[in-house]
Chain A
Amino acid sequence: MTSDTLRDAPVRLSVRGLAKSYDTKRGSVPVIADLTFDVRVGEIACIVGPSGIGKTTLLKCLTGLQSISSGQALIDGRPIDGPPEEMALVFQEYTRSLMPWLTVEKNVRLPLNHLRLPAAEREERIRGALAAVGLAGAESKYPWQLSGGMQQRVAIARAIAYRPEVLVMDEPFASVDAQTRFELEDLCLRIREQFGMTIVVVTHDIDEAVYLSDRVIVLGERPARVTEIIDVDFGGARDQLTTRAVPEFAELRSEVFELIRKAG
């Protein structure tokens, strides 16, 4: 996949003037003021911004878990007003998103039950997803027997096995070691290539944003607005060593860094 074919792909996710305020005891608290951006089919979009800016809130609006106060979020042109079938979300609080009474394998299996897949495919998806995140052999462990990073990978495996058209992840690689992080980043690129998945990732790591993205969406101000949308034209095939070594990588990196610093 080249960047040109990506730029011409149809829009999958469209955010139009989205605003969100939380109703609290002290009244309505605006968190997101006005966001507008698109994510095309097969794109990887990274959302970056200082913590507490409303990234998680935005993802909850996109996945239909939170109502939108004004504006719209659309998937394939349909307004999102509840969790859409074709989406999966990897939660930021990954430890709390796994069922401690189910084994790793059963955690991954649970969302597949209602998809009515042929048994062979279902088993293959579970096996494949666990192998992809490096958890082959841990099937019969319970989440609480695993380290934080491994639990995070179970949550990622569950999302991958579900094979959504749009995969949304909230700081998914926050507690894995550097090596695993590189592997999981490449896994993202691979599943995008393999299944044409559209991926939206919130990340704290600027290098990661530049390495993964076709576009980096920088949020700033409070309540949040889009500070800048930066196109990244490295195309589909990327490599941890060579991609990170090109001069454009360093340029994009400092550009994003500068924007976040101003936004914070």
Chain B
Amino acid sequence: MVFTSSIPARTSVARRAGRSGTPRWVLIGTEVLVPIVLLALWWVASANSTNAFFPPLQVILERLVQLVQTPAFLVDVGSSVGNLLLSFVLASVIGVLLGAALGLVRPLAWFVEPTIHFFRAIPPVALVPIFVSLIGFGNETRIISITLAALFPVLISTMDGIRGTEPTLAMVSRVYRIGWFDRLVSVTLPAASPRILSGMQVSLITAFVVMIASEMLGSSTGLGAATLLAQQSFAIADMWVGILVLGVIGYATTAVFTLFRRRVLRWYLASQQQEKNA
């Protein structure tokens, strides 16, 4: 009996290098070290800057410490992160359900698909003005814009993933007369999950971009609005704080999502690995 097991490598870099033989700790170390080195370079390079638009990193960080203590800043951060997460979750749930329905019921797809592909072709950021003019400047407008923009990647990848299911598995479900619910939850969705999660990753990035755009267009709350306002009122350090915090939010949400994806797709990543080694 041959039992083999492989724990999926921890980072994409590590996975790529698993083959080339570089020790894993070196790669994980690299992934952590690179941002730190970049920040250090920024610190040193900007230390004596007199350019009004590129203040020293030290000044920016000091301003960050001050701002973190003001309620208005925290409200902005909370609003941005809240809108981002709420819209991403909404888009994912709607996208997976609608995508599954369209993937499973062909006639439905014939009617709806052309519309979907038309709306997908519009750059997501361009949707924001449409909603502003339709619904106004409220927070709902932002949530709807983000959700709708983030909907298409996950919707389309779910549809494709479900249609691309291994035909043998569909036959197994038929032969064993597996009920529709078990079939959906234990066969169809897991089979499509690698593509669904890739779609969700794109949705997350889209949601992030549209989140910022929706705040920069006529809004007065959110980090995007705060950053733009700072730029317009020559509060350059504030502007840089906004950019830095947005960057951190983007990086952190992507990192958390990557961990989530790796957890859900453990079977997939490990079986891919297995095939490669075989």
For residue B105, which residues in chain A have a CB less than 8 angstroms away from its CB? none
Q: Are A65 and B175 in contact, with the CB atoms below 8 A? A: yes
Q: How far is the CA of A111 from the CA of B173 in the complex (A)?
A: 8
A-B pairs with beta carbons under 8 A, tally: 79
From residue 68 to 109 of chain A, which have CB atoms closer than 8 A to chain B? 82-83, 85, 87-89, 91, 93, 96-97, 99-102, 106
* Binding stretch for chain B, among A142-150, A183-191, A200-208, A245-253: A142-150
Residue in contact with A144 in the complex, picked from B1, B179, B274, CB distance below 8 Å: B274
Any B CB within 8 A of the CB of A240: no
| CB proximity of B162 to chain A, nearest CB, Å | 15
Residues in chain B near residue A87, CB distance under 8 A: 175
Q: How many residues of chain B are within 8 Å of chain A by beta carbon?
A: 28
Which of B4, B169, B179, B193 is close to A97, meaning CB atoms less than 8 Å apart?
A: B169
Q: Quick check: is B106 within 8 A (CB to CB) of the other chain?
A: no
Chain B, residues 170-202, CB within 8 Å of chain A (1/0): the string is: 011011111100100011001101000000000
Known contacts A83-B174, A91-B168, A111-B176: A146-B182 contact under CB 8 Å:
no
Interface presence of B166 (CB below 8 A): yes
Nearest-neighbour CB distance to chain A for B100, whole angstroms, equals: 16
Q: Say yes or no: A145 contacts B274, CB within 8 Å.
A: yes
For B268, give its contact among A82, A100, A113 (CB under 8 Å): A100
- Inter-subunit contact A63/B175 (CB<8 Å): yes
Do residues B267 and A147 form an inter-chain contact, with CB atoms below 8 A? no
- Is B5 among interface residues, defined by CB-CB distance under 8 A? yes
Is B111 interfacial (CB 8 A cutoff)? Answer: no
A9 close to chain B: CB less than 8 A: no
Chain B residues near A91 (CB, 8 Å)? 168, 171-172
Across the interface, which residues of B come within 8 angstroms of A101, CB to CB? 190-191, 193, 267-268
In the complex, whether B3 has a CB less than 8 A from a CB of chain A is yes
Interface string of A107-143 (1 = CB under 8 A from B): 0001101100000000000000000000000100110
B12 within 8 A of A: no
B271 touches A146 (CB 8 A): no
Chain A contacts of B168 at CB under 8 A? 91, 93, 96-97
- Of the candidates B3, B5, B176, B268, the one whose C-beta lies within 8 Å of that of A110 is B176
Q: CB distance A83 to B190 under 8 Å?
A: no
Is residue A211 within 8 Å, beta carbon to beta carbon, of the partner chain? no
Q: Are B177 and A146 in contact (CB under 8 A)?
A: no
Give the distance in Å from the alpha carbon of A88 to the alpha carbon of B174 in the complex. Answer: 10
Within the complex, the shortest CB–CB distance from A126 to chain B, in Å, comes to 14
Interface membership of B2, Cβ < 8 A:
yes
Return B172 CB to nearest CB of chain A, in Å: 5
- Cβ of A162 within 8 Å of any chain B Cβ, yes or no, is yes
B270 within 8 A of A: yes
B244-274 CB mask vs A (1 if < 8 Å, else 0) is 0000000000000000000000011011001
Candidates B177, B179, B193, B267; contact of A83 at CB < 8 Å: B177
Taken together as a complex, chains A and B put the C-alpha atoms of A82 and B173 apart, in Å, by 12
* Chain A to chain B contacts (Cβ below 8 Å), 15 pairs: A63-B175, A65-B175, A83-B177, A91-B172, A93-B168, A100-B271, A110-B176, A110-B178, A111-B177, A114-B178, A138-B1, A144-B271, A145-B3, A145-B5, A145-B274
Known: A91-B171, A100-B267, A101-B267. 4 other contacts (CB 8 A): A85-B177, A91-B168, A101-B190, A110-B187
